Amino acid sequence: MTLDQYAAFAEVYDLFMDNIDYGQWFARIRELLEQQNIQDGIVCELGCGTGTMTELLAEAGYDMIGIDASPEMLEAATEKKLVSGHDILYLLQDARSFELYGTVKAIVSVCDSLNYVTDPAELLQVFRLVNNYLDPDGIFLFDMNTPVRYASIGDDTIAENREEGSFIWENQYDPESQINEYLLTLFLPEKPVPENGAEPAGAESDAVEAGSLETDGAGSGDTESNGVLSCGMESGGAEEILYRKTEEYHCQRAYSPEEIKALLQEAGLVFLNAWDGYTGRPVSEDSERVLYMARENGKKI
């Protein structure tokens, strides 16, 4: 299992994740940190992805470190950093073996990043590392999806079509193993096809002419050949755009609140509280995402 499962998806991650209210999540995280007297200083984000939350925390005055196992995600995060001018340190590391130069006041992880750690023993190691790199009484804030979340999706297929790109998400959940697998198929636009019909540099040599073949899920008039999809576009003429098809396999594990509490305790952390996502409400049997807070409690490794 690898945590680097966001290669092509990194290009459009922010586009397809625009349903997440990062502003609300940030406000809740900042509120909880301030309640623990953490109003500045060094904070590390595990699984920082494209750096959306990292940027918000940096804007709030925290000295941010972002850790992710995907070079493509960190490339997108670095582009944001160049625009914002925030002094953020990004590290290409796996959460199961991450290393810091010293301890930090808080470690955060959002958007179910830790659900990608599918082995409970490896998640225990992540928690031990967190405890090791926190300042004395430092705070750990992280969210994780519950079995209720994955069961609600079940064996389903989700698709979304936009001008900037499209995806098909084929999901499969095994409640016995609590493993959730999904195949993500992406269609991302490439260079426009010249009006004379010549293919752009780098296009597949055997791409067929638009309108000559129907393919399942692509719609009438779409064509696919060796991963390149050619679609007619209405834009002042007969302009065509090539779409690159890529597939990514993702695997996550559902953890119940009871499992997480036990692993935190075994890792040496002190469990402080948990809430139904970022709402501030108590965890219930229907909670699909849980936000946890724990405290450093002496070094164990």
Same domain, 156 and 239: yes
**What CATH number should be reported for the domain holding residue 60?**
3.40.50.150
Q: What percent of the chain has pLDDT over 90?
A: 62
87-131 pLDDT, tens digit per residue, is 999 999 999 999 999 999 999 999 999 999 999 999 999 999 999
Same domain, 241 and 137: no
Give, for 34, the enclosing helix (H) or strand (E): helix 22-35
Instruction: Output 233 or 278, whichever has higher pLDDT.
Output: 278
Confidence of residue 19 (pLDDT cuts 50, 70, 90): low
Same domain, 243 and 271: no
Q: What is the Cα Rg of the chain in Å?
A: 22
Residue 261 tokens read as 């509490």
215-224 pLDDT, tens digit per residue, is 333 333 333 3
237-259 pLDDT, tens digit per residue, is 456 778 888 888 889 999 999 99
Same domain, 49 and 86: yes
Within-domain flag for 202 = yes
Given a cut of 80, whether residue 138 has pLDDT beyond it is yes
Within-domain flag for 163 = yes
Within-domain flag for 114 = yes
Same domain, 12 and 128: yes
DSSP assignment string, 242-259: EEEEEEEEEEEE---HHH
143-200 pLDDT, tens digit per residue, is 999 999 999 998 989 888 877 778 888 999 999 999 999 888 888 787 654 555 454 4
Same domain, 42 and 108: yes
- pLDDT at residue 231 in the model: 45
- pLDDT at residue 184 in the model: 83
Same domain, 43 and 60: yes
First to last CA, the chain: 24
Same domain, 61 and 202: no
Given a cut of 90, whether residue 297 has pLDDT beyond it is yes
Give the Cα separation of 186 and 193 in Å (integer): 20
Q: What percent of the chain has pLDDT over 70?
A: 77
Across 121-269, the runs of DSSP E, i.e. the strands, are: 134-145, 157-162, 165-174, 179-193, 223-225, 228-232, 240-253
- pLDDT at residue 14 in the model: 54
Same domain, 156 and 237: yes
Within-domain flag for 263 = yes
Q: Structural domain of residue 234, as residue ranges? A: 151-251
109-121 pLDDT, tens digit per residue, is 999 999 999 999 9
- How many domains is the chain partitioned into structurally? 2
Same domain, 31 and 177: no
Confidence of residue 229 (pLDDT cuts 50, 70, 90): very low
Residue 301 CB contacts under 8 Å (≥ 6 apart), including other chains: 128, 129, 131, 132
Mean pLDDT of 129-136: 98
- pLDDT at residue 16 in the model: 60
Any idea which of 50-54, 81-85, 296-300 has the lowest mean pLDDT? 296-300
Within-domain flag for 301 = no
Same domain, 226 and 290: no
Same domain, 200 and 120: no
Within-domain flag for 33 = yes
Within-domain flag for 276 = yes
- pLDDT at residue 20 in the model: 80
Classify residue 263 by burial, with Cβ atoms within 10 Å: 0-12, 13-18, 19+.
buried
Mean pLDDT of 255-283: 97
Residue 55 CB contacts under 8 Å (≥ 6 apart), including other chains: 80, 81, 84, 86, 88
Give the Cα separation of 79 and 76 in Å (integer): 5
- pLDDT at residue 165 in the model: 77
According to DSSP, the residues that pair with 225 across neighbouring strands are 228
Taking Cα atoms as reference points, which of 40, 100, 31 lies closest to residue 66?
100
What phi and psi values does residue 233 have, to the nearest 5 degrees? Answer: -125, 140
Given a cut of 90, whether residue 13 has pLDDT beyond it is no
Within-domain flag for 52 = yes
Confidence of residue 8 (pLDDT cuts 50, 70, 90): low
Any idea which of 28-37, 45-54, 145-154, 227-236 has the lowest mean pLDDT? 227-236
- pLDDT at residue 246 in the model: 82
Given a cut of 90, whether residue 228 has pLDDT beyond it is no
Residue 151 CB contacts under 8 Å (≥ 6 apart), including other chains: 173, 175
